[in-house]
A and B are shown apart, each in its own frame.
Chain A
Amino acid sequence: MNAIEINNLCKSYPLFSMDNLSVNFKKGYITGLIGPNGVGKSTLIKMILGMITPDAGTIRILGNSMPEQEVDIKQRISIVSDDCFFYEHLTIKETGKMIAPFYSHWNDQKFKSFLEQFQLSPSKRVQDLSKGMKIKLALAIALSHEAELLIMDEPTSGLDPVFRREMLDLLADMMQNDNHSILFSTHITTDLDRIADYTAFIHNGRLIFNEAKDEVLERYAIVKGEMQLLDTDIRKEFVGLRETSVGFEGMVDNRSRAQELFGSHALLEQPTLEDIMYYTAKGVSVHA
């Protein structure tokens, strides 16, 4: 079953467009949504949350349609974003008091315990919190109402390494319950190396892949070799290619095909998610 089902989603802006994007995010897993800045990750998340109205297409979350069943859906989901839009003049305690009545499963005890764990003083005003502390507050709120789906938009970008690791552990704890799902948008792919089960890669408003992370890492390969190995047809096999005076380094999305083509003449290495993102974004025109 899918936590989120997106079908033929379209949105056009003067400098960016998303055309017929269809993607499903599985229930019970952590899916990392990756892609460079400005390729449509946040636009997609905003459309999922109803902040942006799609030009066309449908969105279903936890089996319900957006925006028709928006209120029911939002009872069951949580959002953590690197942009914090809480009321700045309120204290953390007032913010909690304001939000609590909206959720039927709000757990005040849990909220207080997260504040303690994250070392957030209830009497502190939101405007006096650092960016990292605001994300901690958003996370405390998100985890205090028994949400089934947690949607995180670049949540780790303002966090110190210690809390980043702590947060990833918290997410892993949350996933002990099979009913929970997480959609984690980021361009810091090392976070996903640690916790993601699936990875969806978006580039220029298009879905490049949405697969189990380990399968992606096995399917893609970095090929390193000498320039003589390259010709026009071979170049077409690469997702991204970086040529230097001493040789080339490129990314292919079919490891076995690359093994057939190059045999022992080239070196094949397993890429990281960051490598995949880099080569896909740069394409075959990369020259060092």
Chain B
Amino acid sequence: MLNMLRKDYIALKSSQWIVILYLVVFSTVFIPRMDMSMYFVGIYTAIGSIMLATMVDIKNHNHRFLITLPINRKHIVKAKYLTAIAYMLFAVFSSFGIHWLTIRLFPLLDKPNYTFNDIIISIGIILLLISVYMPLFYALSHKSAAVINAVFLVALIVLAQPAAQFIHWLSEESQWQSPITLFVYPGILLLFLVSYLVSVKLFSRRDI
């Protein structure tokens, strides 16, 4: 497993600047305009980075190369889920850090004080998106996976406004020990686990 993560690190090393570019672009776009910019910078950066990590494996049919290494398909999928989690944590905490700095350096922007709860909501939403995206990626062929990435990005942009309302509602409802916290978050974790198992199953059945 460590070797697979190391493989991802080597394959993605030269494109890490794109992740930083995502952070800069989304921060510039969302921070001056939205109160909930912390969520959007984190979510968009995470999903963009995860797509970068998945695309690197299909650009040159690299799954056909990976399958020749002494690993099985379950390892390939598991490593990609772990890489996705790593990108998610990086994006969410970077977004939190950028907003923490913004509040101190640019008080005129009048940003709200973000809390641990906001980090948890961001993580929950990204886990939800990964849970939908990954099985689609592993179920589809080389060309269709590229289409799914494009559709997913467009959907994220189009659904930004309804998502903002949902996040607003979630952040108001979501307090520790509230029913939301007790049911939604364990539900998302369960969905994430099911998504992983489904991805393994779909990818194991696919002819490469």
Contacts and interface: CB of A to CB of B under 8 A. Distances in A.
Interface of A: 46, 49-53, 67, 70-72, 74-75, 79, 83, 85-90, 94, 97-99, 101-103
Contact of A52 (B6, B72, B207): B207
A102 B10 contact: no
Nearest to B69: A102
B86 to A, nearest CB: 18
Interface residues of B, number: 25
B150 interface: no
Given A53-B205, A53-B207, A85-B60, A90 B67 contact: no
Contact of B10 (A67, A85, A94): A94
Given A49-B67, A70-B72, A103-B70, A98 B6 contact: yes
A102 B71 CA distance: 8
Contacts of B61: 83, 85
Contact of B3 (A67, A87, A101): A101
A87 B62 contact: yes
B8 to A, nearest CB: 10
Nearest to A52: B207
A49 B71 CA distance: 12
B69 A87 contact: no
14 contacts: A49-B68, A51-B67, A52-B208, A53-B205, A67-B72, A75-B70, A83-B61, A85-B64, A88-B59, A90-B10, A90-B11, A94-B10, A98-B10, A102-B71
A71 B71 contact: yes
Given A87-B60, A90-B11, A94-B10, A51 B69 contact: no
Given A49-B68, A74-B69, A79-B68, A86 B6 contact: no
Among B70, B204, B207, residue most surrounded by chain A Cβ atoms (within 10 Å): B70
B168 interface: no
Interface in B19-71: 56, 59-65, 67-71
Contacts of A85: 60-65
Contacts of A53: 204-205, 207
A32 B6 CA distance: 36
B171 to A, nearest CB: 40
Contacts of A94: 10
Given A87-B56, A87-B60, A90-B10, A74 B3 contact: no
A108 B59 CA distance: 27
A102 B3 contact: yes
B71 A97 contact: no
A51 B61 CA distance: 12
Nearest to B206: A53
A102 B14 contact: no
Contacts of B6: 98, 101
Nearest to A76: B70
B109 to A, nearest CB: 39
B70 A71 contact: yes
Closest 10 CB pairs of A and B: A85-B65, A74-B70, A85-B64, A75-B70, A52-B207, A101-B3, A51-B208, A79-B68, A98-B10, A102-B69
A181 to B, nearest CB: 17
Nearest to A79: B68
A99 B70 CA distance: 10
A275 B205 CA distance: 39
A205 to B, nearest CB: 16
A70 B11 CA distance: 24
Contacts of A89: 14
A87 B55 CA distance: 11
Contact of A51 (B10, B60, B207): B207
Nearest to A151: B68
Contacts of A75: 70
Nearest to B204: A53
A121 to B, nearest CB: 18
A205 B203 CA distance: 26
A46 B60 CA distance: 17
Contacts of A88: 59-60
A144 B10 CA distance: 20
Contacts of B71: 71, 74, 102
Contacts of B67: 49-51
B60 A99 contact: no
B130 to A, nearest CB: 23
